[in-house]
Amino acid sequence: MNWGLKVVIGLSTFIAFIAGACLYMVKSDKDSLEDPNYYQNSLTYDEVYSSMQNLIDDRAIPSVQVLRDTLFIDFKTANNRGELIFKRPSDDQLDMSLPFETQKHYRLSVSGYARGSWRLGIKWSTADKTYISEHNLYF
């Protein structure tokens, strides 16, 4: 086999790889970077930004720990009301939202949750301010 044939085989393999990758992207129905509620989320982003800024200004970042099969959340202030938003990066069918109302300490059993990586979003309000905090968890 001479070098000309090797170049043709290499080039053909590369072209086949590129064509396969293009075909895969065209056939794929779901784009992982696409947000289905993009426009709705962009309209309310000012509220989200001010809630995140309140979190920083008031130093109100809650302490989040997972011990055994229990999630512990310790807030800096009392009289907290809001929701916990659990998002599973690998399977959006497992995403869920739970309302809560507590003083300073909140406990939640996570024994029924799928094992692995989760993103926890905490949206809550106390008195006249709203807060949003995000945490990475591993059960």
Query: What pLDDT is recorded for position 15?
Result: 97
Contact in structure between 65 and 102 (CB atoms under 8 Å): no
Side-chain-side CA neighbours of residue 103 (13 Å): 0
Output the domain CATH number for residue 79.
2.60.40.10
User: Residue 37 domain-assigned?
Assistant: no
* Number of domains the chain is built from: 1
User: Residue 66 domain-assigned?
Assistant: yes
Boundaries of domain holding 116: 45-138
Residues in the chain where the model's pLDDT stays below 50: none
pTM of the model as a whole: 0.73
User: Residue 109 domain-assigned?
Assistant: yes
User: Residue 124 domain-assigned?
Assistant: yes
